[in-house]
Amino acid sequence: MTAPVRAVFMGTPDFAVPTLKALINDPAFHVCAVVTQPDKPRGRGKKLSPSPVKEVAVAAGIPVLQPIKAREPENVQRLADIAPDYIVVVAYGQILPVSILSIPKIAPVNLHASLLPRWRGAAPIHRAILEGDEVTGVCAMIMAEGLDTGDVLSRVETPIGDDDTVGSLHDRLAIIGAKLIAKTLLDYRNGGIAPRKQDDALATYARKLSVEEFGVDFRLPANEVSRKIRGLSPYPGAVTHLNGSAVKPLFARVTQTGGVLGAPGTVLALSQEGITVACSEGAVVITQVKPENKSAMTAHAYTLGHRIKEGDGFV
């Protein structure tokens, strides 16, 4: 009987959880340890809370390491002592040094939420929607010193729909990645995969989001307004103001792509579906919003509570 593949898993947020669970539940693998970020204060009480990855690891009885910096000598030595076949990294949040990348017997493998070399970097899901990509996916790659520059082992594509938000696409890619990783690791170990170099000339960089990008500009065409809102939803959320109140629109559907229907930002109609708003070309209907310091709600409920009427304007 072939011995289980020994793996160290490194990850932190929700996106990494399906992949960790897939490896834990696969008898072909033995997850020797999990490395995740230190517990952080969360909620109103600022109580120290574990990362989603730590919660899964603890429930499965897997040793958890939480160095402030992965490159800390003590952490590097502990990983070296484990001597895993693979180090599997999914949204860990730190660039790993050569001292860690050289530890696994087979390879350090990263699961990245884009079709590399497009959207290397921190915010690939946001950027794919914001830039109007029609397709995205996940890649499993051998980690190198550069930022997401390693050779690609496998990839799976998925279309980006007009109803996709960062939230929906995030969840779908997390599941796709979890299904991809185990087969990829086994196939590569068995010689069934030939790594493919990335074409650096085609690379784009998914830079971190900045506050300056959060505002909604209704002077843009309707399809771009929709992408801005969906490409920031649910986090961090696009920002606009209606009748002097700050509000984050969480979803906007294009209702008309062409024609000037009114001054950009003007409320054209109110309905059970939401708030129809004029753009420079066409219009969108905003269906869900998050008022400042309040929970998300339907746009229709918001209009009732704030006495919104046709002719009002977003700025």
CATH number, domain of 166, equals 3.40.50.170
Asked if residue 315 is part of any domain, the answer here is: no
| End position of a domain, from candidates 206, 230, 256 | 206
Q: What is the CATH number of the domain that holds 218?
A: 3.10.25.10
CA dihedral 6, 7, 8, 10 (to 10 degrees): -170
Same domain, 50 and 186: yes
pLDDT at 43: 75
Residue 291 has pLDDT above 70, yes or no: yes
Is position 33 within any domain?
Answer: yes
Q: Summarize the confidence of residues 190-199 as an average pLDDT.
A: 97
Mean per-residue pLDDT for 249-273?
Answer: 97
The residue-averaged pLDDT of 128-152 equals: 97
Q: Which residues are 154's β-sheet partners?
A: 140
| 52-65 confidence digits (pLDDT tens) | 999 999 999 999 99
Residue 223: pLDDT band (50, 70, 90) is very high
Q: Do 224 and 191 sit in the same domain of this protein?
A: no
228 vs 41, higher pLDDT: 228
User: In the chain, what percentage of residues exceed pLDDT 70?
Assistant: 100
Please compute the mean of the pLDDT values over residues 7-18 and round it to a whole number: 97
Q: What percent of the chain has pLDDT over 90?
A: 95
Backbone angles phi, psi at 218, to 5 degrees: -75, 0
281 and 196 share one domain? no
What is the pLDDT averaged over residues 27-33? 98
Instruction: Kindly state whether residue 311 falls inside one of the protein's structural domains.
Output: no
What per-residue confidence (pLDDT) applies to 1? 59
Kindly state whether residues 152 and 181 are assigned to the same domain. Answer: yes
91 lies in the same domain as 136:
yes
Q: Do 287 and 198 have their domain in common?
A: no
| DSSP string across the chain | -PPPEEEEEEE-SGGGHHHHHHHHH-TTEEEEEEE-PPPEEETTTTEEE--HHHHHHHHTT--EE--SSTT-HHHHHHHHHH--SEEEEES--SPPPHHHHT-SSSEEEEEESS-TTTTEES-HHHHHHHTT-SEEEEEEEE--SSTT-SPEEEEEEEE--TT--HHHHHHHHHHHHHHHHHHHHHHHHTT----B---GGG--EEPPP-GGG-B--TTS-HHHHHHHHHTTTTTT--BEEETTEEEEEEEEEEEESSS--SSTTBEEEE-SS-EEEE-SSSEEEEEEEEETTS--EEHHHHHHHHT--TT-BB-
Residue 44: the pLDDT is 74
- pLDDT band with cut points at 50, 70 and 90 for residue 226: very high
- Pair (154, 112) in one structural domain: yes
The answer as to whether 125 is a domain residue is: yes
Residues 192, 281 share a domain: no
Is 65 in the same domain as 195? yes
Q: What is the pLDDT of residue 45?
A: 76
Residues 28 and 173 in one domain: yes
Q: Choose the final residue of a domain: 172, 206, 240.
A: 206
| Domain that includes residue 151, residue range | 5-206
Q: pLDDT tens across 68-104, in order?
A: 999 999 999 999 999 999 999 999 999 999 999 999 9
pLDDT bin (cut points 50, 70, 90) of residue 28 is very high
Domain identity same for 65 and 172: yes
Total domains in the chain come to 2
- The residue from 206, 235, 269 where one domain ends is 206
Please indicate, yes or no, if residue 10 is contained in any of the structural domains: yes
For residue 314, tell me if it sits in a domain: no
Question: Is residue 35 one of the residues assigned to a domain?
Answer: yes
Instruction: Note whether 144 and 230 are same-domain residues.
Output: no
For residue 225, name the pLDDT band (cuts at 50, 70, 90).
Answer: very high
Mean pLDDT of 278-290: 98
pLDDT of 37 above 90: yes
